[in-house]
Chain A
Amino acid sequence: MAKITLNNIAHSYDGGSSYALKPLSHEWHDGGAYALLGPSGCGKTTLLNIISGLLQPSEGQLLFDDVDVSALPTEQRNIAQVFQFPVLYDTMTVAENLAFPLRNRRGADKLSAAEIDTRVQQAITMLGLEALANRKASGLNADDKQKISLGRGLVRTDVNAILFDEPLTVIDPHLKWQLRTKLKQIHRQFGHTMIYVTHDQTEALTFADKVVVMLAGEVVQMGTPQELFDTPQHTFVGKFIGSPGMNILPCELHGAEAVIQGHRIALAREYPALTGVIELGIRPEFVRLTDSGQGMPVQIKEVEDVGRHRIARAFLHDHPLNIIVPELQPIPGEPRVVFDSDRINVYQNSQLVTGERPS
């Protein structure tokens, strides 16, 4: 287990004309559970492969516990990595597959057969693979195969970090939940540094202590799930996280007041005069539907019932606005909306601006 430091790490696949990963500096704590979250092609797998050494970064340094490992090959970094699709050694049994990374150790790290056996047994119990232990790995279904791939990462108890590259893509939905809980449990029990790549926000938010949101080769925000929900630093984070995501509406600012299409909205904070594109962000959870005559009129296009609550797809003038409506509340005939002023964020050129609370 180790602290991982990225020092101006950047990568370009085409010799510098475009960056898949823009220069990035971060420190990831020993024993932390991190999720790299972002749409396809945002550079999250690139970053993961740089950490495991499968990819040599074009620029920058990588440090494990303050030791520069940038030049070390994958084999010497002592990293476990689980890939999107199961990778198994077909001719081996399940137990042999799990033992493989341990058997490959040479020199000072060499383990005795008894030790290997104990660790393999532990991994088998951990993942509930007892019934399959002596079966050939080639004939198993995708779920079990991926469990074994996970197991090959978990069997090495002294790894610097375990990296997951969208490991649950091929897993059945009900088992997904189970395995994610399992990983969380293993993390608490053994305290590995874990880095988990995904494009699924639920996966990221339930797995990680800290979520790193990436867009086009850049980290747009790193924070706890709560921070990402309450104060997205970038409109992309606001829209990407939450279901549905944050409503972003263009507005004008006048001190502690925002103006949308002539409607005045009180804000909890006071803002200086800002230039550029000014937008207001409000999560659908904090938009209240009312027929009391207060607030701004909206047109509701459709209402989706998702079980616990309903999502009203509405328009505020020309701008789409999602509203979460509690299960029993009726949809008014002349709907108006009120924003919870404490929950409004203001964005200048897509970046969050923090105002000052009026004294």
Chain B
Amino acid sequence: MKTWNNKAWFFVLPVLLLVAFSAIIPLMTVVNYSVQDSFGNNEFYWVGLEWFQEVLASERFHNSLMRNLLFSGIILLIEIPLGIAVALAMPRRGWGVSVCLVLMALPLLIPWNVVGTIWQVFARVDIGLLGHTLASLGFDYNYTQNTFDAWVTLIVMDVWHWTSLVVLLCYSGLVSIRDVYYQAARIDGASRWAVFRYIQLPKMRRVLVIAVLLRFMDSFMIYTEPFVVTGGGPGNATTFLSIDLVQMAIGQFDLGPAAAMSLIYFLIILVISWVFYTVMTHQDNESVTDNRQGGG
């Protein structure tokens, strides 16, 4: 007879409790709100999937989603190549390494709202160093009134804040490449481009997957910085999903639609991240399958 010993469950229990309070219960509360309507007095009515249908059909949601996708797309297109380029240019040995690493890590240590405040002041036309300089040079720059200027400011701010993360990740991939690979490339007469294409890039792929995923998720959820810098304006020009969501939930106190929207928001991030991950690790799986065929 097999004896069952269930004592091990007691060790898992604290984690279960922690996860329940930090994730499962809040999430289920949101699910609960998303399928009900309330007219105050803590009275709730079952409405089914109505809020979901309403959110998905609303133009306001579409516009915010498009802004998010555009923003994430742009900053990925800038930060990933720029991060790789900076990582390639960083020294591999000597005292320069620590200097570069510290400089790179600095922006990452600044809290989001402080970054927002720094740029809010920095870009002001009346007193900001950047804004005032641009204005004196004759540029018609004003991020509080011009949509394009507001976007440029937010993108430059995000690039300034987060490219370091991509740099550090890529750098960690680069320093793990053993010298012998570069030596073999020299023996084979490989060009600088071939070394990047066939040695450095493949060896960086894993960290690049992480970099793309982190930067996508973070930028797609961006809230604090645009909230501080532009407040979602001018008009609704920089109202991203997160800002929209807060307005709906806290500003208008529409709990049902806000709950439905946050669930949709959550699912979109999940799905897009999954797609990124699957596409970027596709090659790995291919070689694993190859292995099995070879072994069989």
**Pair B287/A87 contact, Cβ less than 8 Å:** no
Contact of A139 among B183, B198, B203, B287 (CB under 8 A): B287
**Pair A135/B294 contact, Cβ less than 8 Å:** yes
**Stretch among B94-102, B112-120, B187-195 lining the A interface:** B187-195
Contact (A135, B290) CB under 8 Å given A54-B183, A83-B183, A104-B189: yes
**Stretch among A31-39, A72-80, A186-194, A348-356 lining the B interface:** A72-80
**Pair B202/A91 contact, Cβ less than 8 Å:** yes
Q: Is A19 an interface residue (CB 8 A)?
A: no
Q: Is A92 an interface residue (CB 8 A)?
A: yes
B-chain residues with CB within 8 Å of residue A44 when the two chains form the complex? none
By secondary structure, the B interface counts as: helix
**A100: nearest residue on chain B (CB-CB)?**
B188
For residues 192 through 221 of chain B, which have their beta carbon under 8 Å from a beta carbon of chain A? 194, 198-199, 202-203
**A49: nearest residue on chain B (CB-CB)?**
B183
Contact (A90, B202) CB under 8 Å given A104-B190, A104-B194, A139-B294: yes
B-chain residues with CB within 8 Å of residue A138 when the two chains form the complex? 287
**Pair A100/B288 contact, Cβ less than 8 Å:** no
Bound state CA distance, A132 and B187, in angstroms? 24
B-chain residues with CB within 8 Å of residue A135 when the two chains form the complex? 290, 294
Contact (A92, B291) CB under 8 Å given A81-B183, A136-B286: no
**In angstroms, how far is the closest chain A Cβ from the Cβ of B201?**
8
Contact (A54, B287) CB under 8 Å given A85-B180, A89-B199, A90-B202: no
**A135: nearest residue on chain B (CB-CB)?**
B290
**Pair B290/A139 contact, Cβ less than 8 Å:** yes
Bound state CA distance, A352 and B283, in angstroms? 61
Bound state CA distance, A337 and B203, in angstroms? 62
Interface size for chain B: under 10, 10 to 19, 20 to 34, or 35 or more residues?
20 to 34
The 8 A CB mask of B21-33 against A (1 = contact, 0 = none) is 0000000000000
Q: Is A52 an interface residue (CB 8 A)?
A: yes
For residues 92 through 143 of chain A, which have their beta carbon under 8 Å from a beta carbon of chain B? 92, 100-101, 104-105, 132, 135-136, 138-140
**In angstroms, how far is the closest chain A Cβ from the Cβ of B289?**
9
Bound state CA distance, A100 and B197, in angstroms? 12
**A80: nearest residue on chain B (CB-CB)?**
B187
A-chain residues with CB within 8 Å of residue B180 when the two chains form the complex? 83, 85, 87
Bound state CA distance, A52 and B189, in angstroms? 12
Bound state CA distance, A344 and B187, in angstroms? 46
**Pair B190/A100 contact, Cβ less than 8 Å:** yes
**Pair B186/A74 contact, Cβ less than 8 Å:** yes
Contact (A92, B198) CB under 8 Å given A136-B286, A139-B294: yes
**Pair A75/B186 contact, Cβ less than 8 Å:** yes
The 8 A CB mask of A130-164 against B (1 = contact, 0 = none) is 00100110111000000001001100000000000
Q: Is B184 an interface residue (CB 8 A)?
A: yes
B-chain residues with CB within 8 Å of residue A87 when the two chains form the complex? 180-181, 183-184
A-chain residues with CB within 8 Å of residue B199 when the two chains form the complex? 89
Bound state CA distance, A81 and B189, in angstroms? 12
**B186: nearest residue on chain A (CB-CB)?**
A74
**In angstroms, how far is the closest chain A Cβ from the Cβ of B237?**
42
A-chain residues with CB within 8 Å of residue B189 when the two chains form the complex? 75, 101, 104-105
**Pair A139/B191 contact, Cβ less than 8 Å:** no
A-chain residues with CB within 8 Å of residue B202 when the two chains form the complex? 89-91
A-chain residues with CB within 8 Å of residue B188 when the two chains form the complex? 100-101, 104, 152
Bound state CA distance, A30 and B189, in angstroms? 23
**B184: nearest residue on chain A (CB-CB)?**
A87
Bound state CA distance, A91 and B290, in angstroms? 13
**B292: nearest residue on chain A (CB-CB)?**
A139
A-chain residues with CB within 8 Å of residue B283 when the two chains form the complex? 91
Bound state CA distance, A85 and B199, in angstroms? 16
The 8 A CB mask of B257-296 against A (1 = contact, 0 = none) is 0000000000000000000000000010011101100100
**A52: nearest residue on chain B (CB-CB)?**
B187
Bound state CA distance, A75 and B180, in angstroms? 15
**B284: nearest residue on chain A (CB-CB)?**
A138
A-chain residues with CB within 8 Å of residue B183 when the two chains form the complex? 49, 54, 74, 81, 83, 87
Bound state CA distance, A85 and B181, in angstroms? 10
For residues 8 through 26 of chain A, which have their beta carbon under 8 Å from a beta carbon of chain B? none
Interface centre among B183, B188, B199, B290 (most CB of A within 10 A): B188
Bound state CA distance, A80 and B187, in angstroms? 6
Bound state CA distance, A127 and B204, in angstroms? 31
**In angstroms, how far is the closest chain A Cβ from the Cβ of B92?**
16
Bound state CA distance, A80 and B291, in angstroms? 29
**A144: nearest residue on chain B (CB-CB)?**
B294
List A residues at the B interface (Cβ < 8 Å): 49, 52-54, 73-75, 79-81, 83, 85, 87, 89-92, 100-101, 104-105, 132, 135-136, 138-140, 149, 152-153
Given contacts A74-B187, A100-B190, A100-B194, 10 further A-B contacts (CB under 8 A): A52-B187, A54-B186, A54-B187, A74-B186, A83-B184, A89-B199, A91-B198, A132-B294, A139-B291, A149-B184
**25 CB-based A-B contacts, threshold 8 Å:** A49-B183, A54-B187, A74-B186, A74-B187, A81-B184, A81-B187, A83-B183, A87-B181, A87-B183, A87-B184, A90-B202, A91-B202, A91-B283, A100-B190, A100-B194, A104-B190, A104-B191, A104-B194, A135-B290, A135-B294, A136-B287, A136-B290, A139-B288, A139-B291, A152-B184
